[in-house]
């Protein structure tokens, strides 16, 4: 098999078509995802659920619990200690 000019051009066209298809699919996926974001409800904030918060205000409850879990693991303590 030899790589003459025509075979090289054909391979390049296939690569360009494939890259264009991937880019278009990514753009369509991004547009569909962005269109779904406004329809979601506003998440509960940590200070709305937990009392006596002084530092971690203004973040969603899920992020708050993950942050507290990371801190508990790092310190090797939890609320029962």
What does the domain layout of the chain look like in residue ranges? 5-39, 46-75
In the chain the first and final C-alpha atoms are separated, in Å, by 72
Give the DSSP letter of residue 55. Answer: S
The answer to pTM > 0.75 is no
Chain centroid offset of residue 52 CA? 31
| Angle at 32 (CA atoms; ends 28, 37), nearest 5 degrees | 150
Query: Measuring CA to CA, which residue among 49, 67, 65, 47 is closest to residue 57?
Result: 47
Output the average pLDDT for the chain: 74
Q: pLDDT digit string (tens) for 40-71? A: 678 899 999 988 888 888 999 999 999 988 88
Which pLDDT does position 60 carry in this prediction? 92
């Amino acid at each position: 098999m030899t790589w003459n000019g025509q075979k090289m051009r054909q391979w390049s066209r296939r690569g360009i078509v494939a890259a264009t298809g991937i880019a278009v699919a990514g753009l369509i996926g991004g547009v569909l995802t962005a269109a779904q974001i406004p329809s979601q409800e506003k998440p509960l904030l940590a200070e709305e659920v937990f009392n006596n918060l002084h530092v971690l205000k203004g973040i969603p409850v899920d992020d708050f619990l993950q942050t507290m879990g990371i801190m508990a693991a790092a310190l090797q303590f939890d609320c029962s200690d």
